[in-house]
Amino acid sequence: MAIEVHKTAINTPEVQSAGPLPNLHGFYPSKGKTFFASQQVGTGASQNLAHGLGAVPAGVIAVPTDGGTITYGTHTTTNVVVDCTSGKHYDVLAWL
């Protein structure tokens, strides 16, 4: 039995950035500015996390680590804005 694999290009703007090589879209943690905050605790209201990137992040991923839901706010040049279920932990990754 043979399996044939085809590669299909997809457009995923949520994980694309200019990166160090503009023709190769992707996320380059070793080359770009990143911000990571681990084990933040949700309050059930909008929370501002100072990221220090100096510009509005090109992408933000917030992941609940013990359940709960994440709602994204409007990120700024100084803060990542997220809302997580009260009492639930989450991690945040942001990049330029």
Q: d(Cα 90, Cα 13) in Å, to the nearest integer?
A: 23
Check residues 17 and 55 and name the one with the higher pLDDT. 55
What global pTM score does this model have? 0.68
Percentage of the chain surpassing pLDDT 90? 60
| Mean pLDDT, rounded, of the chain | 83
Non-local (6+) Cβ contacts of 76 within 8 A are 56
Q: Which pair of structure tokens corresponds to residue 79?
A: 């803060």
Once rounded to an integer, what is the mean pLDDT over residues 18-27?
Answer: 55
Non-local (6+) Cβ contacts of 1 within 8 A are none
The distance of Cα 85 from the centroid of its chain, to the nearest Å, equals: 18
Q: How confident is the model at residue 23 (pLDDT cuts 50, 70, 90)?
A: low
Find out if CATH 1.10.10.10 is the number for domain 31-95.
no
69: left (phi over 0), alpha (psi -120 to 50) or beta: beta
> What integer pLDDT is reported at residue 43 of this predicted model?
96
